[in-house]
Amino acid sequence: MPRPRGTTTGATRSMRLPIALDEWLEARMRAHPHRSASDLLVELVHGGLRLRDAYMSIHRYALEARVATPAAYAEYRACLNDTFGPEYVEHLERWLEADGVTVNVPA
């Protein structure tokens, strides 16, 4: 249900996945009823499928902006680490460094 215009609280509208991804998610949920939908979505994203066009370039620009501010990057890096694990964070940092972006890993 959409939020009534002019309000800042209340129900928010749920965004649907593209049909193919929606069908994939529903099939996975039926095949693995013991797993949560959020676990399956993390698997979807982490596994290389993208939820929208230009995902990688948008992610790249966001990472570059955060890397430029060490405090912002440290906070974002901690969130990525908690959500996707250290291997994913290391992969992103190698990707940026391979493209010439200097990543200062917080201590």
Backbone phi, psi, residue 13, to 5°: -75, 135
- The pLDDT tens digits of the residues spanning 65-84 come to 889 888 888 888 888 888 77
What are the extents of the domains in the chain? 16-51, 53-102
**Per-residue model confidence (pLDDT) at position 50:** 55
Question: What SS3 state is found at 65?
Answer: helix
Q: Which three-class secondary structure string do you get for 35-49? A: CCHHHHHHHHHHCCC
Calpha distance 93→104 (Å, rounded): 9
Calpha distance 50→41 (Å, rounded): 10
What band does 13 get if pLDDT is binned at 50, 70 and 90? very low
